[in-house]
Structure 1
């Protein structure tokens, strides 16, 4: 079945052609990970379940090799430069995935977090943004997860067999013990989230297959405690080839040593800026200390009541939108953004505020959501998670997650339309998170002083991530020492610091470095474009162009700026016009 992205947007011919070429890649991805396909919006896979059958690696490798031959053949005959660029994105995505599969097979003892796979697979179909007829398909997927439909076996049994295959192979590195423990602890939270999803969607007949699945997941958890925990490693450090590949996956092409060196220097620069702003706040408010730590502790006391959380963030968004329009920073859509509080399952799985993106294929009007988390079930103390719940913090968090950050970036792709290659296969953390941190810096000069200080605190965290994550993953610092630095010097609460360290050590190694790397690439590109255009440079036109490119990685975005944006702006300047006003 042919699927089209952004169904209510008019598509230029090159996008239509590119999307045709992307279909085999989408189908190949969906064959093994239909849950991700559902999240992307491919409804024809809503009842399918992850393929964990025997000889999984060999089957995926064979399919990838065939797909690469087909894509490369198309590349040799394609004449449209944009389509050729998208074919390069598709070829790169397939090759990168194949390399990742190989490295993991060579190095790692795989353990599959079945509870999380099942939760996300069902949540993608049951979520409130979907129509009731789509939500009803979750019942079929649930029965297949539980092995209650002919031709299907329980997913937990298949996952166990794949790990048992690896247990027979020598020389593989086991999962990090803290990762395994947390995954097993999360089982009940994932099951609760599934119950709530079915109940809220009012789907009938889920209770019996759910009871079977619940029993299977608890048995899988108990087996993992007996069979996998003894093989777990006690340190976060990963095999070097695995961490290098993880950096590449998130869009960071430089190694750990260079990251540590660059970010270590920038960390000191941000500290200096923070103390300067803190000094101004202390002088204005006659505070006893001007040290940034003391000033931030004072600001954190201005907590938002739980009942006021949503209204406060909605009001803050209105203030930021007014700044964007007044200063001509970027073009805003006419509709409102969506904000909500996280569920318990989302808090257990994610642990920090996030953007829940819209479906990017077959979209019929669904938009992204800025989701606020206020608890971390894995916190190791009773300390309050107060980092995003005080008034000054809402400035930078809203700019990052909502507008002009993630929500604008993703929903603009839906409204304006872009190719599948650029929306899905070009996506990495550097181009997504880099834009969001860039947006924080864009709004910062117009914030009040307290908002500026917390915005700088957020940037300090981005920079700290860029050296702490590689240090943890190369064994140069323990997770405990890195966590203490985040608490003492970045002024994070213990629950948020724990979520950060879990991210570095096991939940998403390398991903946290992409915020800093993507941000520095965009800021550098901004400077180069300003130099190229001089007094004719227009920030709104520049930012609109970046948003219009979808999720191009930094290298391709730089080419687009040089080959399209700058010549177009120079032509307008020659005619006495300035775009974006």
Structure 2
């Protein structure tokens, strides 16, 4: 689950890799009980842990109902929540302390292996949330990467996680728009407090945010993006529903929401921007160094220090540049290895498209090819279907390629959303690896499958970035075994995506720990990845407001690959890749420490 939803829909908490996390180690399952009393104690412990985690999940879903919607749980679709309000945060943390106290009364050794995993996960999530609660995250409620008004605007087209198919769906969305007025006013109040306390965002990301906010302010209700659902009312709605919904949307958008959006845009432009800071890193904030360490621990689910991660990143960048040196000549490039990405970006032959439909057709071809190869690598696959869709025009300019999970009730498939703003500039080299990551066997195999495993809700809908993105990045590497990287340009695309994740380790820790400036980080990205100024700036400004989140991808993938190599070395001819993938996936999202212990038990049993 996500103790701070604003840092990313599929982000965060899990178990640290060592005892410093304070969580009980993931030990081998206890031997069978020898008496009826012991069996009864085991049953009581199992009931206690499952009752606790169910209560914890519902409390969190009510605290962050938009997160619940994004995760496929539609029970709270009419609620926006106000998690940024200090009193609500205090009440939530009080609940967490109570849950943690109750958890301490449950004998972990009495639990079966699956419940032991639940114990370890919830223990760390609670401890992580409380650790992060010591820092004033709520005083930074909006940025260019996540702000609730834009997030709600992305639902207006009806193709996102929030359904817009029935009159009740329309009422749910309208209810959220109505509640957003209080959210906006709370955000402004929090930002004012942040200015007083020196807890403010850097200037450049806020300059990127301002046009987003201004674009949401409409001259009339009918011109607002939030009125869009009314322009697409289903024909099957009754006349009474159509009339009432139209009047209600016009009133809420015109009289309540639009003025609130104008207040927010004006505040950011007139008051907040002059108070922003010129530094790039979190270290410039009060107690920022400790704050960043807490975020790194939560996001990576490890005890790695920022300095260690910086070094890992530098080594990975050097390794991948070595691969550039091998693949470049096969593509007709004879310059220095570091210059390969820029050279590729300038080659017209790698931008073959003239229409959006051609891009989607290529992804569908990749999809069909991948499906024929998956059975050789996987014995456990999700039942939910996967579709490839073009990102709606309504949200295309602000979106990036992404995956949305199926609805838990089966009413919505998993979707890989491809973002194509200008097909003539759309590069083909990264398409295979992008599909493997966002589609299958990447996010779809992990996230859709997690909903089908009969896990408690907090595990079915929760997760952590290190496993989620680590698995998807590991899934990219399987393209080589599937024969999908036989063309040198496709293998380059894989390497280039890997290089992005490696370079992130360097710049994120560089800015937030080593005092790198924004310009220094942008220059590193341009030189390492061949990015344009605009592309590099967008990436770096993301890391400026989401410290630690981008570290999880590479750290998670490296751990999964390390565990695979460990199993191959230990088992030799007995190693079975589909069986390994089953072990990694068959309990949903696990913190890296819990995953490592599980794989080690499987290795021992397989011997």
For normalisation by structure 2, the TM-score amounts to: 0.78
Separation (CA, whole Å) in 2 of partners of 1:76 and 1:542: 26
SS of equivalent to 2:451: helix
Alignment pair present for 1:219 and 2:263: yes
SS of equivalent to 1:364: coil
Separation (CA, whole Å) in 1 of partners of 2:371 and 2:279: 45
The structure 2 residue matched to 1:181, chosen from 194, 207, 222, is: 207
The structure 1 residue matched to 2:459, chosen from 411, 418, 422, is: 422
C-alpha contact (below 8 Å) 1:404/1:439 kept by paired residues: yes
Partner of 1:435: 471
C-alpha contact (below 8 Å) 1:396/1:444 kept by paired residues: no
> Structure 1 pair 290/60, CA: closer, same or farther in 2 (3 Å)?
closer
The structure 1 residue matched to 2:563, chosen from 525, 531, 537, is: 525
Structure-to-structure mapping, 1:104-115, within 5 angstroms: 104=136, 109-112=139-142
The structure 1 residue matched to 2:432, chosen from 391, 395, 407, is: 395
C-alpha contact (below 8 Å) 1:357/1:407 kept by paired residues: yes
Alignment pair present for 1:339 and 2:376: no
Separation (CA, whole Å) in 2 of partners of 1:119 and 1:185: 11
> Structure 1 pair 336/111, CA: closer, same or farther in 2 (3 Å)?
closer
Separation (CA, whole Å) in 1 of partners of 2:348 and 2:562: 32
The structure 1 residue matched to 2:251, chosen from 194, 199, 208, is: 208
Separation (CA, whole Å) in 2 of partners of 1:296 and 1:166: 41
Separation (CA, whole Å) in 2 of partners of 1:109 and 1:200: 37
Cα displacement (A) at 1:498? 2.9
Mean Cα displacement is larger for which, 297-306 or 27-36? 297-306
SS of equivalent to 2:413: coil
Cα displacement (A) at 1:487? 2.9
Partner of 1:480: 519
Separation (CA, whole Å) in 2 of partners of 1:207 and 1:279: 61
Structure-to-structure mapping, 1:34-433, within 5 angstroms: 34-51=65-82, 52-53=84-85, 55-75=87-107, 79-104=111-136, 109-112=139-142, 116-121=147-152, 126-127=158-159, 130=163, 131-132=165-166, 134-142=168-176, 144-145=178-179, 154-168=182-196, 170=197, 172-189=198-215, 193-197=225-229, 199-200=231-232, 202=234, 204-205=245-246, 206-211=249-254, 212-238=256-282, 239-251=288-300, 252-282=302-332, 292-293=340-341, 294-295=343-344, 297-298=346-347, 301-305=350-354, 306-325=356-375, 327-328=376-377, 331-333=380-382, 336-343=385-392, 346-347=395-396, 349-350=398-399, 352-359=400-407, 362-375=408-421, 389-425=426-462, 427-433=463-469
SS of equivalent to 1:395: helix
Cα displacement (A) at 1:538? 0.8
> Structure 1 pair 494/404, CA: closer, same or farther in 2 (3 Å)?
farther
Cα displacement (A) at 1:444? 2.7
Separation (CA, whole Å) in 2 of partners of 1:137 and 1:568: 54
In structure 1, stretches of 5+ residues that fail to align are: 1-12, 148-153, 376-383, 571-581
C-alpha contact (below 8 Å) 1:363/1:414 kept by paired residues: no
Separation (CA, whole Å) in 1 of partners of 2:111 and 2:586: 22
C-alpha contact (below 8 Å) 1:38/1:121 kept by paired residues: no
Mean Cα displacement is larger for which, 230-239 or 340-349? 340-349
Mean Cα displacement is larger for which, 227-236 or 41-50? 41-50
Separation (CA, whole Å) in 2 of partners of 1:430 and 1:528: 19
Summarize deviations over 1:92-130 as a string: whole Å, max 9, x none.
11221121121226xx84344699314435756954663
> Structure 1 pair 488/143, CA: closer, same or farther in 2 (3 Å)?
closer
Cα displacement (A) at 1:68? 2.0
C-alpha contact (below 8 Å) 2:80/2:180 kept by paired residues: no
SS of equivalent to 2:294: helix
C-alpha contact (below 8 Å) 1:466/1:512 kept by paired residues: yes
Partner of 1:550: 588
Cα displacement (A) at 1:246? 1.7
Separation (CA, whole Å) in 1 of partners of 2:509 and 2:129: 22
Separation (CA, whole Å) in 1 of partners of 2:573 and 2:312: 31
Cα displacement (A) at 1:231? 2.2
C-alpha contact (below 8 Å) 1:250/1:514 kept by paired residues: yes
Summarize deviations over 1:252-276 as a string: whole Å, max 9, x none.
5312211111221221111111120
Cα displacement (A) at 1:188? 4.3
How many corresponding residue pairs?
528
> Structure 1 pair 473/300, CA: closer, same or farther in 2 (3 Å)?
farther
Cα displacement (A) at 1:229? 2.1
Alignment pair present for 1:498 and 2:534: no
Cα displacement (A) at 1:182? 2.3
Separation (CA, whole Å) in 2 of partners of 1:329 and 1:54: 47
> Structure 1 pair 21/56, CA: closer, same or farther in 2 (3 Å)?
closer
C-alpha contact (below 8 Å) 1:18/1:420 kept by paired residues: no
Cα displacement (A) at 1:348? 5.0
For normalisation by structure 1, the TM-score amounts to: 0.82
> Structure 1 pair 193/569, CA: closer, same or farther in 2 (3 Å)?
farther
Partner of 2:37: none
Separation (CA, whole Å) in 1 of partners of 2:547 and 2:393: 23
Separation (CA, whole Å) in 2 of partners of 1:232 and 1:339: 40
> Structure 1 pair 146/454, CA: closer, same or farther in 2 (3 Å)?
closer
Cα displacement (A) at 1:502? 1.9
> Structure 1 pair 529/98, CA: closer, same or farther in 2 (3 Å)?
same
Partner of 2:14: none
Separation (CA, whole Å) in 2 of partners of 1:545 and 1:76: 22
SS of equivalent to 2:104: helix
> Structure 1 pair 393/53, CA: closer, same or farther in 2 (3 Å)?
closer
Alignment pair present for 1:463 and 2:529: no
Cα displacement (A) at 1:82? 2.0
Separation (CA, whole Å) in 2 of partners of 1:367 and 1:338: 7
> Structure 1 pair 17/536, CA: closer, same or farther in 2 (3 Å)?
farther
Mean Cα displacement is larger for which, 519-528 or 181-190? 181-190
Partner of 1:444: 480
